[in-house]
A and B are shown apart, each in its own frame.
Chain A
Amino acid sequence: AQSVTQLGSHVSVSEGALVLLRCNYSSSVPPYLFWYVQYPNQGLQLLLKYTTGATLVKGINGFEAEFKKSETSFHLTKPSAHMSDAAEYFCAVSDGNQGGKLIFGQGTELSVKP
């Protein structure tokens, strides 16, 4: 069975500071990994995804994530936080062989202080 653990339900950073949101996964098969962002009362928007190939993945809004198989991690980073980055972030894993359903982590709420 697959699972995702997001370390830290709440993360607070100052505007301009580094953003680091942690995600560890468990999967018995090569995983597809995703980061989604959810703004209040809205649906989820895909930030970036890893399927195969390059382990450093660049996404929208300046975010990137690195797939580290040895550490079973897929942490999300952004060099400089902006106020508009305040939102809920979800890491998810998929096993394409099982129809593409996504298994989500609990989410991390990011706050950005001025």
Chain B
Amino acid sequence: SQELEQSPQSLIVQEGKNLTINCTSSKTLYGLYWYKQKYGEGLIFLMMLQKGGEEKSHEKITAKLDEKKQQSSLHITASQPSHAGIYLCGADAYGGATNKLIFGTGTLLAVQP
């Protein structure tokens, strides 16, 4: 079965600093998703990557999928307290007629003012 490992597990940065979160898959990725979650709340979709070498940006967040489609990174530029939360990568795992989303281990981000 496919597994997603995220690193680091947790991260504390000073406001204004840049940071990177990594997501490594045990199998080739066919759809890689990044979500953000505030504690005890639902998941907020950030970005989806499908093609090897693809890169997408939204505001100060950039996500990349490597050429081999087994690793993705999420980069935040000039972090702000609003970026704090849990970041989860997710990947499609085919479950027969319906695909299902499996999640990485998660990265807890704290941004200190």
| B is bound to A | no
Which residues of A does B touch, CB under 8 Å?
none
Which residues of B does A touch, CB under 8 Å?
none
